[in-house]
Amino acid sequence: MSVKIATQSGTFDLPSDFNIEIEDTSPVFNDQGSQSTSATIPSSKNNLRLVKYINRTDTDQAPVEDARITVSDGIYHRVGKMNITQASHSTGIVSNIGFDESEIYNIWNSVTLRSFEGLPKYSPENGVEDVIAYLDDIMNDRKTDTPFHVFQICVAIPETKENDADVYYPEYLNPIIKEGEKYKLNGAARTETYLLNSEVVATSVPIGYGITPFLKVSWLLDYIFNTFGYHVTENPFSTHPQLSRLVVLNNAADCCVKGFIDYSDLMPDCTINELLQALYCRFGMVYFVDGKTKTVRLRFIKDIITSPASQDWSKLKAAEPITNYNTPKQLKLSAATSISGPYPLLVASPAADSLDKFLKPYGYIVGEQDNDGYLSYAQSNGTYCVRNLRTRKLGVVSSDFFPWDKEANIDYEDISSVDECLPIKASAPDDNYACPAYLFGKIHRYTNISSSDVNLSEKSENTSPLCFCFSLPTTRPCGSPRCYGSNGQVVDKNGHTYDISMTFVGENGLFNRFWKDYDAILRHANHTIEAKLHLEHKQLLNADFSTPVALDGQRLLVDTQRYQLPLHFSLPATVNLRTIKLLKPYDLDKEQGIHTIPQLYKWVLFNNRESVYNSVCGEQIRQWQTAVKPPATWIGVNRKNEVSDETSDAEIPFTVPTKDDFDNKRTHFIKQVNYSFDLYYKIRVIKNYTSTGIPIYEEKEYGGVHFEFKYNLWIQATGI
């Protein structure tokens, strides 16, 4: 049997002893794709004709990039793309051949989503009115079989000073209004208040302004692969109840005003590879390309490593395998955190490089916001807050967008992404609905807001960074990067509980949901087994890297398989496999866990002001009481013009008491407080009588004695 290499123009002349070496790679462990090693084709007259005589020094044509060819060896027929690197009449034509995913890897590095030609356009018969009605149906889940989801987002929060106070003017896309018990997109022609050039301006906007749909990730993936001639046969973003509602955000403020939706206006500013890398970083999504059937399967690494073995290769061994023990690694996951608003709730960047580093100064103690917790965490908006022990008010100290990093003393497998972490704007300061804060401003492609009117023009200054968000199936349509709505964890109408949040940390975070098993493999497995295997043409041609194989009773993942065509029994394939069985000893709970401690105790302020008051003022009060004679009656005393420095410089340098503090009723002296006031007393006297002799009383106030004294302020540990 001999190898054949054919183009659309003919078949290359190859000598009978010609061979070519091919290496197939798993996308789980590699990003270069399957390809041949460099091979030299003889420079026969026919062969030079097939490559258009690019060996000639006077040629006016460059080598055909990625020329489609077919490599054959018996029943082995595989389509790939040839890349010629050298051509000479004397030494031959040097090239390598890329197969399957390698055909598209290099292309996708430079192709932006917005640059796709022929993107769809939704153009209803009645223009903008139909567009708004269509998107309103989508927002309220009356239409579900569409590429879109719709919910309100905040895109800017400009601020100004009014009467020495900060005043904010949030700007929204897809503003929602409530009519009765129903929610509706507010896409009507209307007047909006904006802060333009530091001036508050009432601006008239046309119908459809501020309305934009968000593209589903599932649709984007299907469209990308279809554009390059592949059909997606397995897509978890289409089938998973929560992931099917994952979208990419945009800030196209005027994409509907002309009565159509151009999908190119909705695309984020990123390349195809950046989108796929983001989905890999977030979910461990890899794709498997079949060049023969032109199909693609999208799978999560977490599902691959837990799948049963699809084949048993134990009887195919040409020699005993060699095990190479690799150095343990740990996983590090991170994404962009550049979104930043005018106050801490809107700052995506966390307060530390990892959740461990953040919690350590607090002793890993996290309390509840509604139960006087000192450090507390809000699941709905992902913020950590600290309570001021004097005022009892909460202040945001960090978001929960920490990278996943356990900072063990081993090497990293560092996976990062350009997609943005997404804060949530609360209902304050403008009493609007809480919504995602995609704070990159508005993009105007068809209009321009310059003053009190919207002028038709072409203008775009802002960008649309890649950012993911879930459309939550809640009573009020809303979006969130988390699985929590205003009423807690979301459960859809079919009873599916949402349990994925777009954070790397936390019980519902992406590490716990998608990466923890792979991290365990990196730490306690991932060793390379080099095996010589007698694989047949069919096995090589139909290699499935998306499931483990069995070898000597162990499930293993194929990393690479290298073989030579034509196949010979004397030249078995060299297959590198990765182990996924964890080797003892290990303690995953210690290695991966971030355990918080519920807050059981709190510091409470105490003082002895009243006892000192009674001691200092008691004699004066008794004298006043003694002086009051009937029919006058004593009412009581009243303090006026009180002055205290209790709060002026009182710092409480403690966070949460320990059990020992509580058991021993430990106290900490804070300060001695200066206190002054004017003391008055009140009596009731008879002012007059009614015609029937009933007395009419009035209250009179006397005194006005000034007092000054000091009292002590301290804190004591009590139970929550």
Residues 6+ apart with CB under 8 A from 324: 527, 528, 529, 530
C-alpha 299/C-alpha 243 separation (Å) is 13
Residues 6+ apart with CB under 8 A from 207: 128, 129, 132, 187, 188, 189, 257
Specify the DSSP class assigned to residue 644.
E
Residue 55 pLDDT: 85
Question: What is the gyration radius of the CA atoms in the chain, in angstroms?
Answer: 36
Q: Closest by alpha carbon to 435, among 406, 467, 472, 405?
A: 472
Q: How does 3-31 read in b/e, with b if 16+ C-beta sit within 10 Å?
A: bbbeeeeeebebeeebbbebbbbbbbbbe
Q: Which runs of consecutive H residues, i.e. helices, occur in 494-608?
A: 510, 516-524, 537-541, 588-592
Measuring CA to CA, how many Å separate 446 from each of 268, 428, 460, 531? Answer: 18, 31, 9, 61
Exposed/middle/buried for residue 380 (C-beta within 10 Å: 0-12, 13-18, 19+): middle
C-alpha 421/C-alpha 400 separation (Å) is 10
The neighbour count for residue 532, using CB atoms within 10 Å, is: 17
Residue 454 pLDDT: 52
C-alpha 429/C-alpha 68 separation (Å) is 60
Measuring CA to CA, how many Å separate 250 from each of 155, 208, 472, 659, 663? Answer: 9, 16, 17, 50, 55
Residue 456 pLDDT: 43
Residues 6+ apart with CB under 8 A from 590: none
C-alpha 530/C-alpha 394 separation (Å) is 58
Q: Closest by alpha carbon to 454, among 235, 254, 677?
A: 254
Contact 587, 547 (CB under 8 A): no
Element (DSSP H or E) covering residue 642: strand 633-644
pLDDT digits (tens, 9 = 90+) for 500-557: 999 999 999 999 999 999 999 999 999 999 999 999 999 998 889 999 999 999 999 9
Phi then psi dihedrals of residue 457, to 5 deg? -165, 175
Contact 424, 437 (CB under 8 A): yes
Can you tell me whether residue 433 is helix, strand or coil?
coil
C-alpha 306/C-alpha 311 separation (Å) is 15
Helix-helix angle 217-227:272-283, to 10 degrees: 130
Measuring CA to CA, how many Å separate 331 from each of 156, 281, 581, 585? Answer: 35, 11, 17, 19
Can you tell me whether residue 589 is helix, strand or coil?
helix
pLDDT beneath 50, residues of the chain: 456-459
Residue spans of the domains in the chain: they are: 4-100, 601-719
Q: What angle do CA 546, 547, 552 make, to 5 degrees?
A: 145
Phi then psi dihedrals of residue 490, to 5 deg? -80, 135
Please, which residues bridge with residue 420 across strands? 336
The neighbour count for residue 105, using CB atoms within 10 Å, is: 19
Q: Which runs of consecutive H residues, i.e. helices, occur in 561-608?
A: 588-592
C-alpha 219/C-alpha 146 separation (Å) is 9
Contact 604, 718 (CB under 8 A): yes
Report how far Cα 237 is from the mean position of its chain's Cα atoms. 16
Structure tokens belonging to residue 525: 């497995």
Can you tell me whether residue 314 is helix, strand or coil?
helix
Residues 6+ apart with CB under 8 A from 633: 683, 684
pLDDT digits (tens, 9 = 90+) for 224-249: 999 989 999 999 999 999 999 999 99
pTM of the model: 0.89
Residue 451 pLDDT: 58
Contact 523, 411 (CB under 8 A): no
Structure tokens belonging to residue 394: 């909460």
